[in-house]
Amino acid sequence: MDTVTVAHAETETVILDDVDRGLVHALRIDGRAPFRHVGEVIGVSENTVARRYRRLRTAGVLRVVGALNGGRLGYSAWTIRVRCAPDAALPIAKSLAARADTSYVHLLSGGTEISCGAQIPTRDESDALLLRALPRTARVTSVTAHLLLGSYVLPNDWTGAAVLSAEQVAALSPPPVAETDDIELSAADRPLLTLLSQDGRASHAQLAAATGWSEATVRRRLFLLRQAGVLAFFVDIPPAALGFHTEARLWMSVRPSGLTAVAAAIAEHPEVSLVSLTTGPSNLLAAVNCRDAGHLSRYLTERVGMLDAIRAIETAPVIRTLKRAGALLPAIPA
């Protein structure tokens, strides 16, 4: 049996086996899939699935996050790079991680750079994030923001976590998103979305208690938000829990005529959990997860290095993660 041992500071050592990996993959497909259905698909009992999930969640290894899809709300996605003195990096990164509009906040490159994602609704809020949210100090040496123009792979699509067969994936896949009807959010939705941002698997009873709605109303609202592509569920798990101990961000400068071909090629690599076209001096961003430094070296030289259209590449190892999957909770009209 393939196992991965993960040490957690506040609990006993956690060992992920094939059942745990199947559970993680199942939740990546549908974060709210009933444990009974997950157990039927991966071949264990409902009680086993529930017990494994509680164990991993209590250990701080796994959680499901409900978040609004900024693209369906007219938001734009950005990746932000902040370069600063080492003693300033951690407090600034913590400040960014505390925001509701950020996700995947990392310390990079020996602790002198911060990378994070953000979903921004307006130019005014973009300015607020870049100018007012960051401390006005000489310890910050530069801030750059790069608009994401189109993604080929997103974190929940990462195949490094995939262990289930095509038939199992099909059995777990929720109905396709329609994205046809506009959904209006109101203040009444905020308690629902807030609780889901903390626990994407909160029960209908818990959601009903938080909103004051009936469970039937909660079910209908969840269905409508998901069907419209407004609400999505993400698995928040460190890649190290799955045996990938070396993460890095790659900023690539690619010849324009070969940009889409390179993006499509990199999207097929199992190491990759994000590929997106960007604005700025580099025009392609990738997030990669490797087993160790040697694996990263081989990946860069033997896989990425073979793509002739790449003119330059900047590699920044992730040395600490302050936030992974983040819940987008925009201002909702009263």
Q: What pLDDT sits at residue 96?
A: 87
Q: What pLDDT sits at residue 208?
A: 97
Q: Where residue 201 falls among pLDDT bands split at 50, 70, 90?
A: very high
Q: State whether residue 130 is helix, strand or coil.
A: helix
CA dist., res. 311 & res. 320, Å (int)? 28
Question: Is position 235 within any domain?
Answer: no
Question: Is position 255 within any domain?
Answer: yes
* Full residue range of the structural domain in which residue 293 is found: 71-156+244-323
Q: What pLDDT sits at residue 8?
A: 39
When pLDDT is averaged across residues 149-166 and rounded to a whole number, the result is 86
* 154, containing H or E segment: none
Question: Is position 133 within any domain?
Answer: yes
Q: Which two tokens stand for residue 116?
A: 């994070």
Question: How many structural domains are present in the chain?
Answer: 1
* 24, containing H or E segment: helix 18-29
CA dist., res. 168 & res. 289, Å (int)? 24
5, pLDDT greater than 50: no
Mean pLDDT of the chain: 87
CA dist., res. 318 & res. 307, Å (int)? 23
Q: What is the pTM of this model?
A: 0.84
Q: Which two tokens stand for residue 313?
A: 């590449």
Ranges assigned E (strand) in 62-125: 63-68, 76-84, 102-108, 113-120
CA dist., res. 10 & res. 23, Å (int)? 23
* Per-residue pLDDT tens over the stretch 34-80: 999 999 999 999 999 999 999 999 998 999 999 888 777 778 888 99
CA dist., res. 266 & res. 284, Å (int)? 10
Question: Is position 174 within any domain?
Answer: no
Question: Is position 139 within any domain?
Answer: yes
CATH of the domain at 100: 3.30.70.3460
Question: Is position 56 within any domain?
Answer: no
Question: Is position 27 within any domain?
Answer: no
The torsion of the CA quartet 291, 296, 299, 300, rounded to 10 degrees, works out to 170
* Per-residue pLDDT tens over the stretch 76-109: 888 999 999 888 899 989 988 888 778 899 999 8
